[in-house]
């Protein structure tokens, strides 16, 4: 009976948290998916997840979270305001509808359990491939015009102006990264596969950083255009008010001079005050209206900047883990995984060939992994130094992220994932220092085992005896 009461109380608390859930529509679809990624894992009951799914229902006449239409949500992410409107508006609407389909499916998938969540993300990648094809149709005229003006080739021209392609790449990359990280949470990777795993995650986070940079740049252009329009409207409002005031003042002055009475002078002053107040009021109203749009843009930019800083911090941590693993292998601290029938190439294809069903971002090959992680020309000390610098960069990025969150949203404490990332970076940095001292003392009897913080941030633990290996499905 007590357990039932506790369970029902927990369900009611989760339902209340879903009812109180607030989402700023200015953050767009990316902000919505990020919010669901934080909230959904804490909802343990089917009722609470169903209630959240009910709030996310979208249709021809329904609003996302009761705030904005799905089409406008995706359009705000792509920053269409500074982008030239294509001549073929139908292609633009087709792309936006494809984006709504992809975002809606991802939002529903985030409410599933972790295993089903990982499998269904692969189906969402197929929606991203449809988006990529529609984005190519929308972006082609603007890119072709820029190429013709610059007299350059396709290979020399960056995709800075292809905002639909950028948005598609960002969404596809985030889904691929989440698919890989869920595999780590479900303990599907062996220690021998960690270098390959974090190397691919490093690449995906780099592509996400480029996408965030382009969206933020486009957002600042839109904000400057909004400020310029607001200033022009304010000037027009002031000019119109002043003109009417002077005209009214002239009529009152003529009446006053004709009658010579004090009443005429009083009427003149009253009319001048009314005209002045009317002109100022019109300008203030226009400024107030424009400031709301500018504030929404700033909130969106702040949200994108937070996501960009956090992705950069994670990227530095993953890169540091790759270099730490290389140093451990050079120093002879790792165990060998002897699989005669399943080598490195086969493991790479088993894990990452499923990501090759999309063209954005460009998928990587096993040869690229071998070339990037070749540590034959480095010694252990150099690799440990590089790894320590990466972990230090992670700490600096998280400190910057905390300041940014405090300034823009008033958030003082880091969330659970950021705390896990900070702890992983500090722990691995300490491991690097210990390995440096052991290397100076020519001690090579240290063995390493791995634990995970936050589900997917590996920390290396050293010991004189070999610990148990990380589990793997099918081993």
Instruction: Measure CA 343 to chain center.
Output: 35
447-453 and 457-463 strand pairing = antiparallel
Kindly report, residue by residue over 124-171, the tens digit of the pLDDT: 999 999 999 998 888 776 666 665 666 555 444 444 567 888 889 999
* Biggest CA pair distance of the chain: 112
- Contact, 328 vs 460, CB < 8 A? yes
Measured between alpha carbons, how far is 17 from 14 in angstroms, rounded to an integer?
5
For the chain, the structural domain boundaries read: 2-186, 302-463
CA angle, 30 then 319 then 422, to 5°: 70
pLDDT score for 287: 41
Half-sphere exposure of 206 (CA within 13 A, CB side): 11
pLDDT score for 171: 93
pLDDT score for 154: 46
Sign of CA dihedral 248, 254, 257, 258: negative
pTM for this entry: 0.80
Which residue, among 104, 116, 119, 113, has the nearest Cα to 46 in the 3D structure? 113
The encoded tokens of residue 327 equal 């140093």
- Contact, 422 vs 398, CB < 8 A? yes
Q: Is the pLDDT of residue 248 over 70?
A: no
Which residue, among 339, 379, 351, 332, has the nearest Cα to 475 in the 3D structure? 339
Measured between alpha carbons, how far is 249 from 242 in angstroms, rounded to an integer?
10
Other beta carbons within 10 Å of 362? 11
Which residue, among 148, 131, 156, 122, has the nearest Cα to 78 in the 3D structure? 131
3-state secondary structure at position 459: strand
pLDDT classification of 34: cutoffs 50, 70, 90: confident
Measured between alpha carbons, how far is 63 from 236 in angstroms, rounded to an integer?
36
- Contact, 191 vs 469, CB < 8 A? yes
Of all residues in the chain, the percent with pLDDT exceeding 70 is 73
As a whole number, the mean pLDDT across the chain is 77
Of all residues in the chain, the percent with pLDDT exceeding 90 is 23
Kindly report, residue by residue over 414-442, the tens digit of the pLDDT: 788 889 999 999 999 999 998 888 776 55
Rg of the chain over Cα atoms, rounded to whole angstroms, equals: 29
**DSSP alpha helix (H) spans, 83-193:** 89-109, 114-150, 163-185
pLDDT score for 367: 93
**Nearby residues of 129 by Cβ (< 8 Å), 6 or more positions away:** 172, 357, 358, 359, 360
Which has more confidence, 291 or 246? 291
Q: Is the pLDDT of residue 253 over 70?
A: no
The encoded tokens of residue 467 equal 């610990």
- Contact, 30 vs 212, CB < 8 A? no
pLDDT score for 142: 64
């Amino acid at each position: 009976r007590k357990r039932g009461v506790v369970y029902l109380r927990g369900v009611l608390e989760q339902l209340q948290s879903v009812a109180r859930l607030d989402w700023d529509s200015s953050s767009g679809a990316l902000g919505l998916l990020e919010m669901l990624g934080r909230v959904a894992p804490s909802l343990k009951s089917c009722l609470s997840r169903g209630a959240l799914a009910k709030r996310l229902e979208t249709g021809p006449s329904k609003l996302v979270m009761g705030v904005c239409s799905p089409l406008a949500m995706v359009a705000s992410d792509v920053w269409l305001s500074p982008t030239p409107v294509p001549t073929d508006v139908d292609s633009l609407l087709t792309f936006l509808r494809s984006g709504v389909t992809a975002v809606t499916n991802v939002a529903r998938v985030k409410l599933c359990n972790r295993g089903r969540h990982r499998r269904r993300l692969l189906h969402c990648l197929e929606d991203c491939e449809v988006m990529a094809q529609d984005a190519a149709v929308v972006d082609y005229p603007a890119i072709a015009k820029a190429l013709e003006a610059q007299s350059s080739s396709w290979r020399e021209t960056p995709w800075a102006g292809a905002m639909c392609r950028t948005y598609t790449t960002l969404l596809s990359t985030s889904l691929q990264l989440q698919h890989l990280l869920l595999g780590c949470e479900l303990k599907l990777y062996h220690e021998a596969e960690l270098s390959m795993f974090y190397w691919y995650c490093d690449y995906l986070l780099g592509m996400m950083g480029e996408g965030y940079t382009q969206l933020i740049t486009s957002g600042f252009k839109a904000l400057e255009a909004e400020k310029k329009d607001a200033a022009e409207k304010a000037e027009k409002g002031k000019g119109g008010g002043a003109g009417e005031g002077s005209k009214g003042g002239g009529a009152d002055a003529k009446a006053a001079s004709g009658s010579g009475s004090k009443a005429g002078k009083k009427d003149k002053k009253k009319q001048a005050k009314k005209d002045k107040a009317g002109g100022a009021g019109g300008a203030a109203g226009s400024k107030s209206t424009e400031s709301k749009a500018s504030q929404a843009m700033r909130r969106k930019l702040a949200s994108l900047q937070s996501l960009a800083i956090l992705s950069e911090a994670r990227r530095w941590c993953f890169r540091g883990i790759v270099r730490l693993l290389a140093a451990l292998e050079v120093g002879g601290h790792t165990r060998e995984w002897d699989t005669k029938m399943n080598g490195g190439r086969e493991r790479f294809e088993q894990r990452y060939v499923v990501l090759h069903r999309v063209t954005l971002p460009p998928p990587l090959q096993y040869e690229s992994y071998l070339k990037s992680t070749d540590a034959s020309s480095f010694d252990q000390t150099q690799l440990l130094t590089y790894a320590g610098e990466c972990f230090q960069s992670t700490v600096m990025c998280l400190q910057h992220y905390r300041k940014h969150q405090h300034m823009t949203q008033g958030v003082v404490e880091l969330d659970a994932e950021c705390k896990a990332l900070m702890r992983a970076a500090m722990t691995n940095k300490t491991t690097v220092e210990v390995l440096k001292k052991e290397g100076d003392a020519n001690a090579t009897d240290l063995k390493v085992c791995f634990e995970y913080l936050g589900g997917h941030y590996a920390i290396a633990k050293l010991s004189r005896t070999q610990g148990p290996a990380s589990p793997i499905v099918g081993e």
